[in-house]
């Protein structure tokens, strides 16, 4: 991407976010006038959002903790997008990874460090990879729409998760009464925090995954082949590229990233599988993060931190302003709609178009009649 294209992307994205915040402020102002004792003005709302997400060290730690899974789930959409696939099965891959980690984490807890952690995370990555690769394979070899199949597989995975976790004959812990959960993993299978930060290691995994994806897609022959396939599948096949293998590998990598997010959530946050794994809708938010970043691995990092800050600010909005906990979800929905709307502006703004270079007039030969007469 050249400098002009980068500037266009940044400015249009910032404009979409600013308009989203304006609409959200108007919505909260109207809601507070009807449902609350005192109206919540735009300045007060913006101050609370900033304070809750970025106003202190504690807020930053909370923001980074919530951004870590978003970085990984966003890659589940960003990587296949390079081949022209719109994969939205991020939530299903995350749940599959979390379920696999919870299943293997119990018997592996007795092993010495780091065998339990490696076993849990590898199984989580494998489960997420298989789910998304199934969607990519159906799209390439059977012509099934990847967007629809990945979404349907997510619903299937959520049903399987609930069945296994809530049924006492399978994974449900008899001690979990009000909130059905699987048997907790042992202390030896947990994942701690990064030294010096109150953030689990999922953040480091996400940063490394984004850097690796950037190098893979922009500086390798595999990435060149993926971009060529995304630009024109017929041309890629005519050039002799193994399109099916490219799709399968890319979907495997994207699904593994989302599965890793689920495994880290089990090992570092929940310690057991329950509905809290998908209650935060980390996979669905990862789709939005990928679209806002225009599916660029490096762009995912700041966008995920921004949305992690919004999620971290939900408690501040609830405590200080009396807004419901779902208020931030309304903002995220507005952002998603406006980002899709502002997509129509790319390539249409004249200020970002390259200037046309007019060819210089051809020189007049000296032996032409006009020159000779002169």
Q: What is the pLDDT of residues 46-64, one digit of tens each?
A: 999 999 999 999 999 999 9
pLDDT of residue 158 exceeding 60: yes
pLDDT of residue 365 exceeding 60: no
- Mean pLDDT within 192-215: 94
Residue 212 located in a structural domain: yes
Q: How many residues does the chain have?
A: 374
pLDDT of residue 146 exceeding 60: yes
Q: Are 243 and 237 in contact (CB under 8 A)?
A: yes
- Mean pLDDT within 254-268: 96
Report the distance separating Cα 207 and Cα 144, nearest Å.
Answer: 32
Where does the chain have alpha helices with state H?
A: 3-35, 42-54, 57-81, 90-108, 115-142, 146-166, 202-218, 221-231, 233-238, 243-264, 276-279, 282-292, 297-312, 314-320, 327-342, 369-373
Return the DSSP state at 201: T
Report the distance separating Cα 274 and Cα 281, nearest Å.
Answer: 13
Residue 175: pLDDT band with limits 50, 70, 90:
confident
- In the Cβ-directed half-sphere of 302, how many Cα atoms lie within 13 Å? 9
Residue 165: pLDDT band with limits 50, 70, 90:
very high
Q: Can you say whether the dihedral through the CA atoms of 288, 295, 255, 197 is positive or negative? A: negative
Residue 336 located in a structural domain: no
Write down the pLDDT at residue 354.
61
Q: What's 331-343 look like in SS3? A: HHHHHHHHHHHHH
Q: Can you say whether the dihedral through the CA atoms of 31, 338, 78, 237 is positive or negative? A: positive
Report the distance separating Cα 75 and Cα 68, nearest Å.
Answer: 12
Residue 121 located in a structural domain: yes
The H or E element containing residue 354 is none
pLDDT of residue 362 exceeding 80: no
Residue 22 located in a structural domain: no
Q: Could you identify the residue written with the tokens 């800050």?
A: 309
Residue 111: pLDDT band with limits 50, 70, 90:
very high
Return the DSSP state at 240: T
Write down the pLDDT at residue 71.
97
Write down the pLDDT at residue 30.
92
Q: Are 323 and 331 in contact (CB under 8 A)?
A: no
Return the DSSP state at 359: P
Residue 271 located in a structural domain: yes
Q: What phi, psi does 274 have (nearest 5°)?
A: -155, 180
Residue 357 zone, left/alpha/beta (φ > 0; ψ -120 to 50; rest): beta
Report the distance separating Cα 254 and Cα 81, nearest Å.
Answer: 10
Q: Record the pTM.
A: 0.89
Q: What is the DSSP string of 307-339?
A: HHHHHHTHHHHHHHS---TTHHHHHHHHHHHHH
Q: What is the pLDDT of residues 91-110, one digit of tens each?
A: 999 999 999 999 999 999 98
In the chain, pLDDT over 90 holds for what percent of residues?
Answer: 67
Residue 364: pLDDT band with limits 50, 70, 90:
low
- The encoded tokens of residue 77 equal 């959409």
- Mean pLDDT within 249-260: 97
pLDDT of residue 65 exceeding 80: yes
- Mean pLDDT within 71-78: 97
pLDDT of residue 369 exceeding 60: no
Q: What is the mean pLDDT of the chain?
A: 89
Residue 154 located in a structural domain: yes
Q: Are 70 and 207 in contact (CB under 8 A)?
A: no
Report the distance separating Cα 276 and Cα 283, nearest Å.
Answer: 13
Write down the pLDDT at residue 320.
87
Domain span at residue 77 reads 58-174+182-292
Residue 361 located in a structural domain: no
Residue 45 located in a structural domain: no
Cα-Cα-Cα-Cα torsion 155, 158, 160, 164, nearest 10 degrees, comes to: -170
Q: Are 21 and 332 in contact (CB under 8 A)?
A: no
In the chain, pLDDT over 70 holds for what percent of residues?
Answer: 92
- Mean pLDDT within 77-90: 94
Q: Could you identify the residue written with the tokens 């609350």?
A: 36
Return the DSSP state at 230: H
Write down the pLDDT at residue 138.
95
Report the distance separating Cα 259 and Cα 270, nearest Å.
Answer: 15
Residue 184: pLDDT band with limits 50, 70, 90:
very high
Split into its structural domains, the chain has a count of 1
């Amino acid at each position: 991407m050249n400098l002009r294209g980068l500037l266009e992307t940044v400015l249009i994205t910032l404009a979409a976010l600013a308009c989203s915040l304006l609409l959200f402020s108007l919505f909260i102002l109207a809601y507070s006038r009807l449902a609350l004792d005192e109206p919540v003005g735009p300045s007060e709302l913006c101050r609370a959002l900033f304070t809750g997400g970025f106003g202190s060290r504690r807020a930053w730690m909370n923001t980074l903790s919530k951004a870590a899974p978003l970085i990984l789930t966003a890659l589940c959409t960003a990587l296949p997008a390079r081949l022209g696939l719109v994969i939205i099965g991020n939530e299903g891959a995350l749940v599959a990874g979390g379920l696999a980690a919870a299943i293997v984490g119990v018997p592996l807890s007795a092993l010495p460090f780091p065998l339990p952690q490696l076993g849990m995370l590898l199984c989580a990555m494998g489960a997420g990879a298989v789910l998304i690769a199934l969607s990519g394979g159906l799209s390439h070899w059977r012509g099934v729409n990847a967007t629809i199949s990945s979404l349907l597989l997510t619903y299937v995975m959520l049903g399987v998760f609930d069945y296994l976790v809530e049924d006492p004959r399978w994974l449900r812990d008899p001690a979990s009464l009000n909130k059905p959960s699987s048997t907790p993993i042992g202390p030896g299978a947990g994942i701690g925090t990064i030294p010096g930060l109150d953030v689990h290691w999922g953040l480091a995994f996400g940063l490394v995954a984004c850097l690796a994806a950037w190098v893979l897609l922009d500086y390798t022959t595999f990435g060149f082949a993926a971009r060529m396939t995304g630009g024109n599948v017929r041309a890629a096949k005519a050039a002799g590229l193994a399109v099916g293998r490219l799709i399968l590998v890319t979907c495997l990598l994207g699904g593994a990233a989302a599965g890793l997010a689920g495994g880290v959530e089990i090992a570092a946050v929940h310690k057991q599988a329950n509905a809290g794994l998908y209650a935060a809708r980390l996979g669905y938010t990862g789709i939005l993060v990928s679209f806002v970043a225009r599916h660029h691995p490096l762009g995912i990092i700041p966008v995920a931190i921004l949305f992690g800050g919004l999620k971290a600010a939900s408690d501040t909005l609830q405590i200080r302003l009396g807004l419901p906990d779902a208020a931030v979800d309304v903002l995220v929905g507005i952002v998603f709609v406006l980002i899709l709307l502002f997509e129509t502006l790319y390539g249409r703004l004249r200020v970002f178009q390259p200037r046309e270079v007019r060819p210089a007039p051809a020189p007049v030969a000296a032996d032409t009649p006009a020159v000779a007469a002169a």
